[in-house]
Structure 1
Amino acid sequence: MLRFPEKFYFGSASSATQSEGSFEGDGKGKDIWDQWFESEPEKFYGEVGPNKTTAMYKNYKEDIKLLKQTGHNSFRTSISWARLFPKGYGDVNEEAVKYYKDYFQRLKENDIEPFVNLFHFDMPMELQKIGGWENRKVVDYYREYAKTCFELFGDIVKRWFTFNEPIVHVECGYLNQYHYPMKVDAKLAVQVGYHTALASAYAIKEFKESKIDGKIGIVLNLSPAYPRSNNNEDLKAAEIAESFQNKSFLDPAIKGEFNELLVSLIKKHDLMPEYDREDLEIIKENTVDFLGVNYYQPVRVKAKEHLPNPNAPFLPTYYFDLYDMPGKKMNKYRGWEIYEKGIYDIALNIKNEYDNIEWMITENGMGVQDEDRFKKDGIIEDDYRIDFFKGHLKWLHKGIEEGSNCIGYHIWTPIDCWSWLNAYKNKYGLIELDLETQERTIKKSGYWFKQLSDNKGFEL
C-alpha cells in the first residue's frame, strides 16, 4: 500500500468559465470568451462555446454531492471576475455574491475544503476593450476585485490563488494565437507578463492587510525542460526554455524577483516592459504562502538546427527547438507526452531551489476522445485514467518521502467540462456529462478516486 499523509488533500479542479455557464437574469458580464465565441464561433471545436458548460451555476448543490461521492476532501474552482463585477469594476453583482457564498459554504458543510482562484484566463470584456493586461490600470481594477473577494468570502475560504497558469494568457494571447486577443507581439507579451506578476503581488498585499485567516498562492503549469543530450548547446537550450516556461512566474512568486537570465534575454531583444521601482518593491515584499502546480507534460528541447530569422517576430524558440524524443509514451488524443517522473523532478526542484515551500498538485489528468467506447453496463471503464493517476502518484509519493513539502493532489477535472477552443473533444472527468440532458454518471475512475481518498493511498 502506497500511503500519503493523513491530512493530504485529495480532490479536483475546474474553473468558472469552464463549468458555470451563463443564464438569463444572473447578472454576469461578458468575458473575452463570450465575446470571441460570438464573433468567431468557427474557431471553437464543433462551434461549441462557453454557453454550453457543465452548468454548475444551476447544478452546484447536486454536483457537490457527486464530489463527496468521489472522495473529495477539497476542490478548486475560480470566481468569474465578470460575474462578480460585470464591467470588471464598479458595482458588485449581488446575484453572484449569493451564488458564491452558498457554493463555498455548502462545500465546507460537506467537509470539502474550497480552494478559490481569482483569475483563470477570463478577462472581463469591458477591461479587454482598454487593453486587458496590457494596461497598467487593469492591475488596479484586479487589486480592487481581489480585495472585494477577500472581504466577501474570506470568512469561508481559507485557501486562495491569485492566478491559474499566468504564462498561458501571455503565450497564447500574445505569441501563439490560441487565446484572445490573438496577437503576435513579444513586447506586449512581456508587458502583460509583468503586469500579471505585479497584480498577483498586489492581491497578496491586499490579502495580508485584510488579516483574514488563511493562505494565498499562485497556480503555475510547470513543465520541466529536458535537454536532448549532455551537449553544452543542448544544455543551454534547456536552461533558456526553463527560464521562459517556468521561472518567468515561479521566481517572482516565491523569490520576489525576476530570473536574471530571462531579464538579460528580454533586454537583449529590446523587450523590457514599462515599470517603476515601487512596483518591484511590491513584488519583492509580497510573495506566496504556498504554490499550486499543474503538471501534464514535460518540454524536451535541443539546440537550434538553423539560425533564426532576425527579422521575424521574437518567440522563445529563437533560442531552442522542440525535440521529438523517440519512444516517448504519449496520450495520442491530446498529443501530449506522458512522463510520470516529471512530477518527482518538480517536487525535488521545489525542495532544493525554492526553500521547500508548501505546495500541491493542482491539476494532473488525461483527456481522452470518444469515451463512450469504453462504456460497460452504463459506466465508462476508464482504466487508462486510473493507470495515469497511479503512475504520477507513485513518483509524487517518492518526492514526498525524500522531503518535498507537498500537501495535496488535485486532478483535472471532476465533471467533464468545456475546454477553451477544444470544447468537449477530450474528456477529463471522474464523472461523465451528457451535454444534452445534463445527466451526470460517475466513471470507474471516480469510484477508484473515492477509495484513494478514503485509504489515503492505493495498492501497488
Structure 2
Amino acid sequence: MIKFPKNFYWGSAISATQSEGASAKDNKTETTWDRWYKEDPYKFYDQIGPELTTNMYENYKEDVKWLKKTGHNSYRTSISWARLIPGGKGEVNQKAVDFYRDYFQRIKDEGVELFVNLFHFDMPIEMQEIGGWTSREVVNHFVEYADTAFKLFGDLVDRWFTFNEPIVHVECQYLNQYHYPAEVNPEKAIQSAFNTQLASSLAIQAFRKHELDSKVGIILNLTPAYSRSSNPNDIEAAKIADLIACKSFLDPSVLGEYPKELVDLLKDYDKLPDYTDEDLEVIKNNTVDFLGVNYYQPLRVKENPYEIKEDAIFLPENFYTPFEMPGRRMNIYRGWEIYPKALYDIAINIRDNYNNIEWLVTENGMGVENEERFRENGQINDHYRIDFFKEHLTELHKGVEEGSNCIGYQVWTFIDCWSWLNAYKNRYGLVELDLDTQERRIKKSGEWFKTLSENNGF
C-alpha cells in the first residue's frame, strides 16, 4: 500500500466564478467573463455563460455536506472580487460578507481546513476598463481588496493564496485570446505579468501586518518543459520555454528574484516592463510561505527552425515550437497529454532548486465529455479518473519518499463546474451535477477518494 505522511491534505479546489453563479445577484457587479459572454456568447460552449454555473451561491449549505462524503480534510475556493467589493473599489458589499462568512464557517464546521484564493481570472470589468493588470491603479485596488479579505475572513481561513495560475491570465488575455479582452499585445502581456507578481507580493506584505495564524502562498500551474531530443538547439528551446512558462512566476514568488536569463532575454529585445527599484525590493522581501502547484500536462518543445522576420510580433513561440511526442498518451476530450511522471519531476525540482519549500498539489484532474455513457445502476463509474489519480499519486509519492516537502493533494474538482469557454463540455467532478435538475450524485471516484483519504493512501 502507498501511504502518505501523517496529516496529509486530501481535498479539491474550485473557484467563485466557476461555482457560485448568481452573477448579478445581491449587488455583485460584472466581471470580464460576464461582459465577454454578453458580447460574444457564441465563444462559449453551448452558449452557456457564467450566470448560473453550479449555483453554489444558492446551494452551498447542502453542497458543503458533500465534502466529508468525498473524503475532504481540506478545500480550496476563491472570493469573487466583484461580489465582495462591487466594481473592484469602494464600499464592501455586506451581503457578500454574510455569504462568505456563513459559507466558510460551514466548511469549518464539517471539519475541513479552508484554503481561500483571492484572484482566479475574475477581474471586475471596471478594473479591466482602466487597464487591468497593465495598470498600477488596479494593482493598488487589488491590494486594498486583499487587505479587506484578510480583515473580514482571517479568523476562518487556514491558508491563503494570492493568485491562481497567473501566467494563464497573462497569456490568455494578451497573447492567445482565450480571456477577455483577447488581444495580441506582448508588451501588455509582459507588463501584466510584472504587475501581477508585484500585486501578489504587495498582498503578502499586507497579510503579514495582520499577524494571522494562517499562511499565504500562490498557486502556479507548473508544466515542466521537456526537449524533443538531446540536441543543444532543442535543449535551449526547452530552457527558454521553462523560463517563460514556469520560472517567470516561480522564481520571484519563492526566491524573490527573477531569473537572470529571463531578464537578459527581455532586455535583448527591448521588452522589459516598467518597474522601479522599490518594486523589486517589495518582491524580494515578500516571498510566499508555501506553494500551490496545479499540474495537468507537460510542455514538450523543439527548436524553432525558422528565421523570425524583423518586425514579427514578440511571442514565446518565436523561441520554441510545440513537439508532439510519438506514442504520447492523450486525454482526447481536453487535448492534453497524460504524463504522470512530471509530478515526480516537479517534486524533485522544488526540493533541489526552491529551498524544498512546503508545497501541495492544488489541482490535478481529468475532464471527460459525455460521462453519462459510463452510468451503471444510476451512478457514473469514472474508473478512468480513479486510474488517473492513482498514477499521479504514485509518482508524487516517489517524490515525497525522496524528500520533497509535499503536504497534500487536491483534485479539480469536487463537483462538476463551469469551465470558462468550455462551459460544461468536460466534467471533472467527484460529484455529478445534473444541469437540468441541479441534482447532485456521487461518482465512483468520489467514493474512491473518500477511501483514499481515510486510508491516507491506496
SS of 1:209's equivalent in the other structure is helix
**How is 1:302-451 mapped onto 2 (pairs within 5 angstroms)?**
302-451=302-451
Q: Where does residue 173 of structure 1 map in the other structure?
A: 173
Instruction: Report how far residue 276 of structure 1 moved.
Output: 0.9
Q: Where does residue 146 of structure 2 map in the other structure?
A: 146
- In structure 1, distance between residues paired with 2:310 and 2:182: 22
Rate the CA distance shift 1:44–1:25 in 2: closer, same or farther, 3 A: closer
**How is 1:9-20 mapped onto 2 (pairs within 5 angstroms)?**
9-20=9-20
C-alpha RMSD over aligned residues: 0.8
| 1:378-407 C-alpha deviation (Å, 9 max, x unpaired) | 100000000000000000000000000000
| 1:142-179 C-alpha deviation (Å, 9 max, x unpaired) | 01000000000001102000000000000000001010
- In structure 1, distance between residues paired with 2:67 and 2:236: 45
- In structure 2, distance between residues paired with 1:2 and 1:388: 15
- In structure 2, distance between residues paired with 1:12 and 1:123: 23
Q: Where does residue 215 of structure 2 map in the other structure?
A: 215
- In structure 1, distance between residues paired with 2:5 and 2:59: 32
Report the number of matched residues.
Answer: 458
Determine if the alignment matches structure 1 residue 101 to structure 2 residue 101: yes
SS of 1:87's equivalent in the other structure is helix
The residue identity in structure 1 corresponding to 2:417 is C
5+ residue gaps, structure 2, are none
C-alpha contact (below 8 Å) 2:433/2:441 kept by paired residues:
yes
The residue identity in structure 2 corresponding to 1:429 is G
TM-score calculated relative to the size of structure 2: 0.99
Between stretches 308-317 and 283-292, larger displacement belongs to: 308-317
**How is 1:39-54 mapped onto 2 (pairs within 5 angstroms)?**
39-54=39-54
The residue identity in structure 2 corresponding to 1:345 is D
SS of 1:118's equivalent in the other structure is strand
The residue identity in structure 2 corresponding to 1:430 is L
| 1:68-102 C-alpha deviation (Å, 9 max, x unpaired) | 10000000000000000111010000000001111
Q: Where does residue 262 of structure 1 map in the other structure?
A: 262
C-alpha contact (below 8 Å) 2:20/2:52 kept by paired residues:
no
- In structure 2, distance between residues paired with 1:63 and 1:110: 11
Instruction: Report how far residue 24 of structure 1 moved.
Output: 5.9
Q: Where does residue 116 of structure 2 map in the other structure?
A: 116
Instruction: Report how far residue 25 of structure 1 moved.
Output: 4.3
**How is 1:132-143 mapped onto 2 (pairs within 5 angstroms)?**
132-143=132-143
The residue identity in structure 1 corresponding to 2:433 is L
The residue identity in structure 1 corresponding to 2:109 is E
| 1:36-74 C-alpha deviation (Å, 9 max, x unpaired) | 101110111111000131111111111111111000000
SS of 2:86's equivalent in the other structure is coil
SS of 1:387's equivalent in the other structure is helix
Determine if the alignment matches structure 1 residue 281 to structure 2 residue 281: yes
SS of 1:432's equivalent in the other structure is strand
- In structure 2, distance between residues paired with 1:437 and 1:264: 55
SS of 2:88's equivalent in the other structure is coil
Q: Where does residue 90 of structure 1 map in the other structure?
A: 90
- In structure 2, distance between residues paired with 1:440 and 1:211: 39
SS of 1:3's equivalent in the other structure is coil
The residue identity in structure 2 corresponding to 1:224 is P
The residue identity in structure 1 corresponding to 2:6 is E
SS of 1:122's equivalent in the other structure is coil
Determine if the alignment matches structure 1 residue 184 to structure 2 residue 184: yes
SS of 1:184's equivalent in the other structure is coil
- In structure 2, distance between residues paired with 1:111 and 1:30: 33
- In structure 2, distance between residues paired with 1:104 and 1:449: 22
Seq. identity, %: 62
- In structure 1, distance between residues paired with 2:304 and 2:122: 35
- In structure 2, distance between residues paired with 1:106 and 1:417: 20
- In structure 2, distance between residues paired with 1:113 and 1:158: 6
C-alpha contact (below 8 Å) 2:23/2:52 kept by paired residues:
no
Rate the CA distance shift 1:25–1:237 in 2: closer, same or farther, 3 A: closer
C-alpha contact (below 8 Å) 2:24/2:51 kept by paired residues:
no
Instruction: Report how far residue 308 of structure 1 moved.
Output: 2.3
Q: Where does residue 251 of structure 1 map in the other structure?
A: 251
SS of 1:313's equivalent in the other structure is coil
**How is 1:156-171 mapped onto 2 (pairs within 5 angstroms)?**
156-171=156-171
- In structure 2, distance between residues paired with 1:423 and 1:193: 26
Instruction: Report how far residue 23 of structure 1 moved.
Output: 5.8
Instruction: Report how far residue 33 of structure 1 moved.
Output: 0.2
- In structure 1, distance between residues paired with 2:97 and 2:13: 21
The residue identity in structure 1 corresponding to 2:292 is G
Determine if the alignment matches structure 1 residue 63 to structure 2 residue 60: no
- In structure 1, distance between residues paired with 2:270 and 2:156: 46
The residue identity in structure 2 corresponding to 1:72 is H
Moved over 3 A (4+): none
Determine if the alignment matches structure 1 residue 27 to structure 2 residue 24: no
SS of 2:368's equivalent in the other structure is coil
SS of 1:415's equivalent in the other structure is coil
- In structure 2, distance between residues paired with 1:145 and 1:202: 11
